Amino acid sequence: METWLGPITYVTHLDRLIRVFLPGDPSYQIEAIHQTFPGCRQENHLLDDFAGQLAEYFAGRRQRFSAPIELSVSDFTMRVLCETMNLDFGQTVSYKTLAERIGQPKAARAVGNTLGGNPLPLVIPCHRVISANGALGGFSAGIENKRRLLMHEGSTHASIGGGR
């Protein structure tokens, strides 16, 4: 799907969203996606519904996604992703704070690494997690895309630069 962020590809399995690829993500290669998910079809009611949700998000009319998802991840990763899903539109939190919220106060780096592998960016809004010093930190689709998403959401951290 074409968006103002660039083309977004998403994959479903048994009527559940399993992967979202954003532009700028090094794994975003259509040929590789078709190799990883060889049974891909382009007709599915969930695909159409999620496309509508994406269009609403990018038009500023949606703040949360409601597509059913499927995650096959470790317990730690599930806790990180679930807590990240609780972040409100435009709200930012540090990797450290997120680690504290899941009961692992010394795991900020592990939280960052986990979010770097988030299979469902936007749906699980990892772009809302920033460094403790206010820098944007990392993002699989690139810092500029993270900044653009935060600006879209009206976050006060959108103008801050910096790496991880």
5, 11, 93, 126: the catalytic one is 126
Is 126 noted as a catalytic residue in this protein?
yes
**pLDDT score at 68:** 93
Task: Let me know: does 20 contact 10? Beta carbons within 8 Å.
Answer: yes
**27: which residues sit within 8 A by CB, 6+ positions away?**
21, 140
Q: Domains along the chain?
A: 2-58 (no CATH), 75-159 (1.10.10.10)
Q: List Cα–Cα distances, 78 to 1, 71, 115, 119, 151, in angstroms.
A: 27, 8, 11, 11, 27
Task: List per-residue pLDDT tens for the chain, 164 residues long.
Answer: 889 999 898 888 888 899 898 988 766 565 656 666 666 555 566 778 899 999 999 999 999 999 999 999 999 999 999 999 999 999 999 999 999 999 999 999 999 999 999 999 999 999 999 999 989 988 989 999 999 999 999 986 655 544 43
Q: Is 122 left (phi over 0), alpha (psi -120 to 50) or beta?
A: left
Give pLDDT, residue 81: 98
Query: What length does the chain have?
Result: 164
| Element holding 154 (H helix, E strand) | none
